[in-house]
Amino acid sequence: MDLTKQFPRSVRDKVAGVVMLGRAIDKGKATATGTNGEYNFDCPMDKAVFGFLDIDAAVLLDVIKSAKSNAEIEAFAREHASKKTSAEIEDWNRSFLNYGPAPGSDGETYFLELRKSVAPGRTDVTSWADLLDLDEKREVPHRVAA
């Protein structure tokens, strides 16, 4: 995967039923080959999904490097996801997709600046997932602003 030429999967794309995991795997693949560009494997969003699934980032990166197929990587992910109930995964997915910056934080300042540059006027965009999708030219439905 060459993230200097394409985007990783959307945060919304699921692997083993879990959002963000596919994106993290894509960034791991690119990191393993030195083609991650501006993307960072094991960033705070990756750490969140790894924490939820009790995945060690270094171990996942080793799996990615040694895997002969995507199926091997996904089997590793499914093994970890299988330790969660479908309700736990559903709740985590919903929470993660709605997560936004803390009001008054440096993260909020960065979020608002990025939103202004990639989607002026989209005050309805309040989650990191939506902002990443907009930044990567994906469609994000308009919502009623809070």
143/123 Cα distance (integer angstroms) = 9
Q: What is the mean pLDDT of the chain?
A: 95
**Local confidence band at 146 (pLDDT 50, 70, 90 cut-offs):** low
Task: State yes or no: pLDDT of 5 exceeds 90.
Answer: yes
Report residue 112 CA to chain centroid gap.
Answer: 19
Coil, helix or strand for 18?
strand
Question: Which of 66, 82, 71, 103 shows the shortest CA–CA distance to 18?
Answer: 82
Q: What is the mean pLDDT of residues 64-68?
A: 96
Provide the token pair at 21.
Answer: 């995991």
pLDDT score at 90: 98
pLDDT score at 105: 95
Cβ atoms < 10 Å from Cβ of 83: 9
Long-range contacts of 97-100 (CB under 8 A, 24+ apart): 97/11, 97/12, 97/19, 97/127, 97/129, 98/127, 98/129, 99/127, 99/128, 99/129, 100/126, 100/127, 100/128
pTM score of the predicted model: 0.92
- Model pLDDT for residues 76-134, shown as the tens digit of each residue: 999 999 999 999 999 999 999 999 999 999 999 999 999 999 999 899 999 999 999 99
**Local confidence band at 145 (pLDDT 50, 70, 90 cut-offs):** low
**Spatial CB neighbours of 109, under 8 Å, sequence gap ≥ 6:** none
